[in-house]
Amino acid sequence: MTKQEYAVIDMGTNSLRLMTGWKDESRDRWVLSPKQVETTRLGLHAEQTGRLSEAGMQASFAVLERWRSRLAQVPVCVVATSAVREAKDGKAFLAEVRARFGWHCRAITGWEEASLGFCGVTAELPAQQCVLTVDIGGGSSEVASGMRGDVHWSHSYPVGAVRLQEQREREGLSLDDLVSRCEKQWLAMPLQAETVIGMGGTITAAAAVELGLTVYDPQQVQGYYIGLEKLTALIQRLDRMGAEERRHVRGLPADRSEIIVPGLVILWSFLCHYGLPGIQASERDLMEGVFYRHSFHDAAWRGGAGAGTK
């Protein structure tokens, strides 16, 4: 029997990501591909202009065009996050994506982003384990707590690695200033979690640097624990370097060299504020969550390839 493949594209502030998968009905589980990542900087300067970057939109269209032939017979669901949902021209950009490629796409809310990320991270954890997740993105950071598949509390904060780096450049902010900006964001959380898990490029890159990976290995990164002391030392080490020097740090993707420090500061501030000693890195995130949330599939992929274009 021919297996039906599906695809999810995550359209973020800093990058586009693609994951494909098919449902193994005999074991009631999804078989998912490794994620493909392309840096497009769609949300560059969006906080100042209120609009998506023209260069970022063109770069995104070019990436989607390259992916089109690979996805010719595959139902595709595109989810856009903070940059697109906040931009004045975000809806127009998504309309253009629909017109060019015939894919279902929409900007998800901050609550949906937090919930889907939580679902992706916790799907294989024990059902009664209390978990706190944090997803540091380019334009926003999502925090959720609860038990497997059941979010008890969540919030989307308007602080992300790209957004904070742009503020730093524009206003000449020091490291202490960045910490202060983050500290003002955090809200009280009603749940004490047994496990704290982080997702997103900032956290996985930090794990890769700590592991000294010459070639990125998702299996080594998954579950890697970063303590607060190590995180503090890493921030200080990377902040002493220039962006070009950081491009050559083992384990750090070159295209993340400019935004890694503010991303790590967000993480450090979060852990300190809530008195957390450290965090586990997760390779699983929002994209897995879209696959696991069957109600979302029904809406996005109904009718097979090309669904959502009417």
Range of the domain at 225: 125-283
Q: How far apart are CA 107 and CA 83, in angstroms?
A: 9
Q: Indicate whether 150 belongs to any domain.
A: yes
pLDDT at 304: 47
pLDDT at 308: 37
Rounded to 5 degrees, what angle do the CA atoms 166, 105, 65 make? 80
pLDDT at 4: 87
Strands 5-11 and 76-80, sheet pairing: parallel
Q: Indicate whether 188 belongs to any domain.
A: yes
CB 260 within 8 A of CB 208: no
Count the residues in the chain.
310
276 shares its domain with 174:
yes
H or E element, residue 232: helix 228-239
CB 164 within 8 A of CB 254: no
Q: What is the CATH number of the domain that holds 264?
A: 3.30.420.150
Rounded to 5 degrees, what angle do the CA atoms 107, 169, 209 make? 75
Q: What is the CATH number of the domain that holds 66?
A: 3.30.420.40
105 shares its domain with 254:
no
CB 256 within 8 A of CB 201: yes
165 shares its domain with 266:
yes
Nearest to 41 by CA among 249, 255, 242: 255
pLDDT at 300: 58
* Total tally of structural domains belonging to the chain: 2
Cβ neighbours of residue 237 under 8 Å, at least 6 residues apart?
A: none
H or E element, residue 258: none
- pLDDT averaged over consecutive 10-residue blocks of the chain (310 residues)? 87 96 89 95 94 98 96 92 96 97 93 95 92 97 92 95 96 97 93 90 97 96 97 97 94 95 98 96 96 64 44
Q: How far apart are CA 72 and CA 78, in angstroms?
A: 15
Q: Indicate whether 310 belongs to any domain.
A: no
Q: How far apart are CA 84 and CA 78, in angstroms?
A: 12
Q: Indicate whether 253 belongs to any domain.
A: yes
Burial of 163 (C-beta count, 10 Å sphere; 0-12/13-18/19+): buried
Q: Indicate whether 254 belongs to any domain.
A: yes
pLDDT at 165: 96
Q: How far apart are CA 89 and CA 1, in angstroms?
A: 43
150 shares its domain with 229:
yes
Q: How many CB atoms lie within 10 A of CB 88?
A: 11
Q: How far apart are CA 55 and CA 42, in angstroms?
A: 8
91 shares its domain with 135:
no
pTM: 0.92
